[in-house]
Homo-oligomer: A and B are copies of this chain.
Amino acid sequence: MPHSVAILGASGYTGAELVRLIATHPDLEIAALSADRKAGQSMGEVFPHLRHLDLPSLVRIDEIDFASVDLVFCALPHATSQEVISSLPRNVRIVDLSADFRLRAAADYEKWYGRAHSAMDLQAEAVYGLTEFYRDEIRTARLVAGTGCNAATGQYALRPLIEGGLIDLDDIVIDLKTGVSGAGRSLKENLLHAELSEGTHGYGIGGIHRHLGEFDQEFSALAGRPVEVQFTPHLIPANRGILGTVYVKGEAQAIHSALAERYAAEPFVIVLPMGEAPSTRHVRGSNFVHLGVVGDRRDGRAIVLAALDNLTKGSSGQALQNANLMLELEETAGLMMAPVFP
């Protein structure tokens, strides 16, 4: 019998992506879809690419009967998310795609999100959702906090290197190029086609991007000392895809070996042969991560490149992978579709 799931915030891109993925999932059934402002509309009206599916209409969250729901995907904005999740019955398991439960310390949340956290009790039971590194905790968690898409990209490149003591912790630069869907369906001038296409620019640079909170938390915990990376995201004219170019001081060959070994058994993380560079085009629409390692003409310096689809592996695909674990399903169920190229 399929498990019953609800998606809260189904009118955004990550909500729609969840529906896309679950549409061919053998063991999940969508019981409810919420979208407060678009309640009453059908999903096919809001997202015509989902017209062929037989889906429940969009409703307000308070219209959902959670008694018959096994798991909730919460694709709401941060701050809203913590309120809503606080009100859910305890029987429901939750994968949250917002930023609300990623940071373990109340002070960190306040620092990066500019407001106090109102549900620190829930935070205490939340598990950080980077599947490949928290798999066991995720299996038994009631609440899993999906990672930031940029934060996931950087961590795939760096965690094994920090754990292995392979790089200089004081000189890590993450230069990131990201597609526009990561910004969601929000109406801003700089997200218009006329303003975004045919160019690129950096944004949120200078040590102020919120995903730094995740980098700091995770890398410092791994290293057992404070680690502060330099992180510079750029918007590129593509809808899906993040490429992280990570500059580290360490031996390229050792770094490549460490990554290859660490991810050898992972179904979704592929380490390219030494010297090859990944492309976001080659993971588009899929749950795969491609990692590449290239040296420099100077010894002791290396570049790790990581490519993933921000809406899939960076968000909704990760969420589904975690849900599979929580529901004791095949971890890869619904997620093995190949990337769409060209």
Contact = CB atoms under 8 A, between A and B. Distances in A.
B290 A51 contact: yes
A102 interface: no
Contact of A185 (B194, B277, B290): B194
A285 B275 CA distance: 31
A298 B23 contact: no
Contacts of A307: 201
B236 A200 contact: yes
Contact of A173 (B49, B173, B194): B173
B199 A284 contact: yes
Q: How many copies of this kind of chain does the complex include?
A: 4
A232 interface: yes
Determine which residue in A187, A283, A295, A342 has the highest number of CB atoms from chain B within 10 A of its CB, and name it. A342
Contact of A305 (B52, B202, B245): B202
A108 to B, nearest CB: 14
B303 A205 contact: yes
A23 B185 CA distance: 31
Interface string A201-225: 1110111100010000000000000
Nearest to A283: B49
Nearest to A252: B206
A43 to B, nearest CB: 11
B234 A281 contact: no
A51 B270 contact: yes
A246 to B, nearest CB: 10
A238 interface: yes
A264 B303 CA distance: 36
A278 interface: yes
A49 B339 contact: yes
A211 to B, nearest CB: 13
A341 B236 CA distance: 16
Interface of A: 13, 16, 19-20, 23-24, 47-53, 171, 173, 175, 177, 179-181, 185, 187-189, 191-203, 205-208, 212, 228, 230, 232, 234, 236-241, 243, 245, 247, 268, 270, 272, 275, 277-286, 288, 290, 294-298, 301, 303, 305, 307, 311, 336-342
